[in-house]
Amino acid sequence: MSNRTFTMIKPDAVANGHIGGILNMINAAGFRIVSMKMTQLSTAKAGEFYAVHKERPFYGELVEFMSSGPIVAAILEKENAVEDFRKLIGATNPANAEEGTIRKKYAESIGRNAVHGSDSNENAAIEGDFFFSGLEKF
């Protein structure tokens, strides 16, 4: 499990036609897709997924945005997956994201920032289980 991470292509990137471009960057960086689906979060489910941020001032906006349209959820596998994927996506605020990162290329703003990436092995497992059953992990 420690070689896996969890990602979402967020509603902004899906709406803007960037699913293919983002998946190409993920594949080119050497990640194997373990599980993948397109779905839409209810506000309740988005609130649950981001519960760790519920005291933050941007929580309401975040939940609203993440439930505003379809997303693509995926579990990814690679050696050192969590850390390497955080490097591939770049800084939370695209203004600070390095050249060559997914957020540099596709994020619109700090809130509408194209992709999610787990921040620890423990959260990668929790987040993957939030979206996928054992039968959906290949």
Local structure of 72: helix, strand or coil: strand
Closest contact distance (angstroms) between CB of 42 and ligand DAT is: 18
> Nearest CA to 46 among 84, 11, 98?
11
Task: Show the tokens assigned to 81.
Answer: 């997956």
**Distance, CA of 18 to CA of 20 (rounded, Å):** 5
Give buried/exposed letters for 29-43 (b at 16+ CB in 10 A, else e): eebeebbbeeeebee
116 labelled catalytic: yes
Nearest residue (CB) to ligand DAT, 77 versus 119: 119
Give residues 114-133 in contact with Mg ion (rule: CB under 5 A): 119
Q: Which does 58 bind (CB under 5 to 8 A by kind): ligand DAT, Mg ion, none?
A: ligand DAT
- The closest residue (CB) to Mg ion is 119
Closer of 32 and 86 to ligand DAT (Cβ): 86
Binding site for ligand DAT (CB under 6 A): 53, 58, 62, 92, 110-111, 113, 116, 119
